[in-house]
Structure 1
Amino acid sequence: MNHKIVLFTLGRVVLIEAALLVLPMAVSLLYGERCALSFALTIVLAVVTGSLLCLLCRGGRGTSSIKDGFMIVALAWIVLSAIGALPFVFSKEIPSYIDAFFETVSGFTTTGATILADVEALSRGMLFWRGFTHWIGGMGILVFVVMLVNTPDRSINILKAEMPGPTVDKLVPKSKDTARTLYIIYTALTALEVIFLLLGGMSLFDSVVHALSTAGTGGFGAYNASAANFSPYIQWVLTVFMFLFAINFNLFYLILLGRMRDVFRNTEFRVYLAIVLVSVAVITAEIMPLYRTFSDSLRQAAFQVASIISTTGFITADFTVWTPLSKVLLLGLMFVGGCAGSTAGGLKVSRVAILFKMMRRELRHTLRPRVVDVIKMDGRRLDERTAHSVAVYFALYILSIAALIVSLSFSRFDLETNLFAAISCFNNVGPGFGMAGPVGNYSPYPPLFKLFLSAGMLLGRLEIYPMLLLFMPAAWRKR
């Protein structure tokens, strides 16, 4: 590992976080809140820390490897969360640092799991910061760094390590331009959602906070009831944008180029659309007896399906009282997640599609051993190396969730609570079943287990490899 490059880049990340903290501080000042001082103190500490890292490691230039990219990503997300938790502690709105760290990790990883029983007790500045962490973490803070700084030799390594999905494609030849294009699309969609929410009568503050949370597919809102008290129009707007933000951002770029045919030829998008439509149809039929009209049932089903498959975590109903089939479908959507290259969590639709194609190929091969059967995605032959990496990732995915469940089993809580807490946090969904259901939170877990869940959120968001690399002695050795 090139230690100077890693530490120098971490210094830049911390300085950028200091700059980003100015926004919630400005919101606090606008509303005359005392927590502005907490943000100011955190900014000073971040500037000092980031400046020292940059000065001491200013020779951190030159070539870097994919290993350096993975280390930068893993360490950056931990450092970002550690610093981002400080405003909560300094303001005493979340007095416990571990609780604040859990909340911040949940924010940056766009999980939306919370330890807060009364969200409305938070100041406006803190509510904005919670939502803003979703927006920052949704596309990836390191993608933001690539866009701003000139690091051509290591940019693609950072993108590969941070962007979710089986592969990372450049939209344009330069990685920096790819990052910029992604953020332009991301920002434009966020602004568009703000406009639609304003048209529904939502206040500017609430519109911005909920748009930031939706864009990052996180789910931190401003109210204890999440989205349950919003008008049907607002709920439909959130539903549509949750669906959109779980789509591969490459497809939005194709739309801008007028290549709509390529969008609908995309295998992952077609599978994603089919899963959503079938799930909404089945759940609507299942919950009809619980709601007054077909339109109410459709809205509730569509909202919960979009929220769970996009791993956003907003809720409008307590789905734990729905029919067994509805709950099983929602549980399945927790695992599937959104598309690769989106802000959503989960296994990713593309991986699920590839795994099913691999299983079908193996079954065919069993019947006809001599037949050569290739896997195709988007009409093109899938590279065997990619197929192999998907299979390996799936094995690690199952083992990681199992390890998290075993870790939580040492707590005093029942199997259902621990099982769904692990699944929900690792897949960056937020709400689950049991104690961690739509009307519950994670505050009863002791501090150690909150750290386990925080690690699970980071593992899931960064797709395992960067975090595992931290525990490999070979990764820390100088090249």
Structure 2
Amino acid sequence: MIDIRPVAHTIGRISVALGSMMIFPTLIDYAAGNPNWVLMAQSMVLVVLISALVVAATSSSSRSLTIEQSFLLTSGLWLVLPVIGAVPMMLGAPNLSFTDAFFEAMSGLTTTGTTVIPQLDSLPPGVNMWRAILQWSGGLGIVVVAMVFLPVMKVGGMQFFRSEGFDTLGKVLPRAGQIAAEMTWIYLGITVACTLMYFAAGMTFFDAVLHALTTCSTGGFSNYDASFGVYIGPAEWVSTLFMVLASIPFVRMIQAVRGDVGPIWRDTQIRTYLRWIFYSVGIIVIYRLLYIHQTAHPWDVIRETTFNVITVFSGTGFASTNVLEWGHLPFAILFCVALIGGCTGSTGCSIKIFRYQVLFEAVHAQIKRMQSPHRLYPLRLAGKRLDQDVINSVMAFFTMFMLTFGLLIVGLALTGLHPKTALTGAWTAIANVGPVWGPEITSNGSIEQFPETAKWLMTLGMYLGRLELVSVFVLLLPRFWRG
């Protein structure tokens, strides 16, 4: 049997840290004179106390994690933390049910950005800040998981990045602390820079901080029902810059801070990501200027298109306009780019650029083998040989992703949702994007009117999509629990 004490100890320590962060929304509501600060403070005490008891009860456990314990930690963390995130939203404003509060917290921690709250403008400021903190924490967490745990666990071809993510096999936890510290400083640095630039672009300081937290996590929560439509103009360009930064590998930014900028320019993922963004924006801008009646200046069309394409591509999910008005081709492009996502080792969501690169290399090699069956065609990416287990892992991931996506569509449709709502609901959940379209959606994009079963299905989709499916499904195998 697997010893769960080291897993519980680590989850307990992280839970203490997340619970302690409730002090910020508590102080914000107190300063605003909003009585919700009392309930936020009570939630903080409750969460920190219970988490601290778990830490104390498991303090004698080993600090090293086996592969099995790493899988359990990764999957368990994203189940426990949403419960913690849900507590203040159940005890205080907006007084959500457990289903809705857990959905909102899961949407935050997976940086999806879909909401069940129909009136964000009327929420206490501390609650909106708490939602942003959940996204910022989830963004940092997924970067550490992607570069520390997933390469060791060989999830979805991530073993290809084992040397860059630091080889930690057999001693995951001690090394993870050092890696997490470096990435946290980078993450914090770009968040501070984003805040200052938002403020300079015309946001209030509170809005600048909140939107910086949800931009750098590529999460997309806003404190306005109109999302980013409140800040049309320079702030869109600021957001565009930091959404791109947040969706490129953090390892490259660490190397740049250490004085080695070269890897950023040589990284094939980054070059491919930027190139595909350019193609997507270019096609949509040309289509809108030629085929859609535009009253806006062409430069405004470029700005609006660039912002809304990148917010979907990166999985952030902000919106400054109704993209359905652009026509069918732009919507089809947006639908596809969301299923691509950002770079591996970033806060970006979905399948990731790296896996498409591996897929295309494998297809290209197979075509060449059909032409010359007796020749060998070793696969390489970024100058490194692609081992067969990486290719197999990537292919397995694609298969599981598409199968889960299809099952989610069917499941949501069976709850009574309109087919369009079921399609975009499954799409936004499994790719952790945020927006949903359909007749059941409220004016601010909330899914408040969804059946409870549909909310749980989307919650499951967000959870599976963020943890890259395999790291969760492996727990269903009986032999896993036999160690």
State the Cα distance separating 1:223 from its structure 2 match.
0.9
**Are 2:442 and 1:441 aligned?**
no
Match of 2:51 in 1: 50
Q: C-alpha distance in 2, partners of 1:252/1:321?
A: 37
Match of 1:451 in 2: 456
State the Cα distance separating 1:142 from its structure 2 match.
9.2
Within 5 Å, which residues of 2 pair with 1:331-410? 331-410=335-414
Q: Percent identity?
A: 29
Q: C-alpha distance in 2, partners of 1:437/1:266?
A: 41
Q: C-alpha distance in 1, partners of 2:258/2:298?
A: 38
1:118 counterpart SS class: coil
Q: C-alpha distance in 1, partners of 2:232/2:433?
A: 23
Match of 2:172 in 1: none
Distance 1:132 1:291, change over 3 A: farther
**Are 2:480 and 1:475 aligned?**
yes
State the Cα distance separating 1:6 from its structure 2 match.
1.8
Tell me, yes or no, if the aligned pair for 1:427 and 1:457 is still in contact at 8 Å: yes
Match of 1:149 in 2: none
Where structure 2 has 5 or more consecutive residues not aligned to the other structure, the ranges are 168-174
**Are 2:277 and 1:272 aligned?**
no
**Are 2:319 and 1:315 aligned?**
yes
State the Cα distance separating 1:61 from its structure 2 match.
1.2
Within 5 Å, which residues of 2 pair with 1:78-477? 78-140=79-141, 143=144, 156-157=148-149, 160=152, 166-167=158-159, 168-169=161-162, 170=164, 174-288=175-289, 289-435=293-439, 439-477=444-482
2:228 counterpart SS class: coil
Q: C-alpha distance in 1, partners of 2:47/2:143?
A: 17
Q: C-alpha distance in 1, partners of 2:83/2:213?
A: 21
TM, length-normalised to structure 2: 0.92
Distance 1:413 1:158, change over 3 A: closer
1:85 counterpart SS class: helix
466-475 or 126-135: bigger deviation? 466-475
State the Cα distance separating 1:439 from its structure 2 match.
5.0
Q: C-alpha distance in 2, partners of 1:162/1:177?
A: 21
Q: C-alpha distance in 2, partners of 1:256/1:393?
A: 33
Q: C-alpha distance in 1, partners of 2:277/2:368?
A: 28
Tell me, yes or no, if the aligned pair for 1:431 and 1:437 is still in contact at 8 Å: no
Letter in 2 for 1:422: A
Q: RMSD over aligned Cα, in angstroms?
A: 2.3
State the Cα distance separating 1:166 from its structure 2 match.
2.4
Tell me, yes or no, if the aligned pair for 1:138 and 1:217 is still in contact at 8 Å: yes
Tell me, yes or no, if the aligned pair for 1:73 and 1:142 is still in contact at 8 Å: no
Letter in 2 for 1:197: Y
Letter in 2 for 1:402: G
Q: C-alpha distance in 2, partners of 1:472/1:276?
A: 39
Tell me, yes or no, if the aligned pair for 1:164 and 1:340 is still in contact at 8 Å: no
Q: Tell me the alpha carbon deviations over residues 430-472 of structure 1, each in whole angstroms, 9 at most, x when there is no partner.
A: 1143245985321121112211111110111111123223433
State the Cα distance separating 1:311 from its structure 2 match.
0.3
Distance 1:14 1:423, change over 3 A: same
Q: C-alpha distance in 2, partners of 1:467/1:49?
A: 26
Letter in 2 for 1:212: L
Q: C-alpha distance in 2, partners of 1:269/1:206?
A: 30
Q: C-alpha distance in 2, partners of 1:180/1:171?
A: 14
Distance 1:56 1:8, change over 3 A: same
Letter in 1 for 2:450: Y
Q: C-alpha distance in 2, partners of 1:22/1:46?
A: 12
Match of 1:77 in 2: 78
TM, length-normalised to structure 1: 0.92
Tell me, yes or no, if the aligned pair for 1:27 and 1:124 is still in contact at 8 Å: yes
Distance 1:47 1:165, change over 3 A: farther
Match of 1:150 in 2: none
1:120 counterpart SS class: coil
Q: C-alpha distance in 1, partners of 2:113/2:393?
A: 29
Q: C-alpha distance in 1, partners of 2:107/2:407?
A: 19
Letter in 2 for 1:308: V
Tell me, yes or no, if the aligned pair for 1:156 and 1:175 is still in contact at 8 Å: yes
Q: Tell me the alpha carbon deviations over residues 178-234 of structure 1, each in whole angstroms, 9 at most, x when there is no partner.
A: 211111111100100001011112111000000000011010011111111214111
261-270 or 356-365: bigger deviation? 261-270
Where structure 1 has 5 or more consecutive residues not aligned to the other structure, the ranges are 147-154
300-309 or 285-294: bigger deviation? 285-294
112-121 or 427-436: bigger deviation? 427-436
Match of 2:170 in 1: none
Tell me, yes or no, if the aligned pair for 2:109 and 2:139 is still in contact at 8 Å: yes
193-202 or 466-475: bigger deviation? 466-475
Q: C-alpha distance in 2, partners of 1:163/1:321?
A: 39
1:121 counterpart SS class: coil
Tell me, yes or no, if the aligned pair for 2:246 and 2:347 is still in contact at 8 Å: yes
Tell me, yes or no, if the aligned pair for 1:81 and 1:105 is still in contact at 8 Å: yes
**Are 2:50 and 1:35 aligned?**
no
1:452 counterpart SS class: helix
209-218 or 466-475: bigger deviation? 466-475
State the Cα distance separating 1:400 from its structure 2 match.
1.3
Distance 1:407 1:321, change over 3 A: same
Tell me, yes or no, if the aligned pair for 1:139 and 1:216 is still in contact at 8 Å: yes
Letter in 2 for 1:462: L
What is the aligned residue count? 469
Tell me, yes or no, if the aligned pair for 1:131 and 1:213 is still in contact at 8 Å: yes
Q: C-alpha distance in 2, partners of 1:264/1:165?
A: 23
Distance 1:143 1:381, change over 3 A: closer
Q: C-alpha distance in 2, partners of 1:48/1:220?
A: 28
State the Cα distance separating 1:160 from its structure 2 match.
4.9
Letter in 1 for 2:197: F
Q: C-alpha distance in 2, partners of 1:470/1:388?
A: 20
Letter in 2 for 1:466: S
Tell me, yes or no, if the aligned pair for 1:142 and 1:162 is still in contact at 8 Å: no
Distance 1:455 1:429, change over 3 A: same
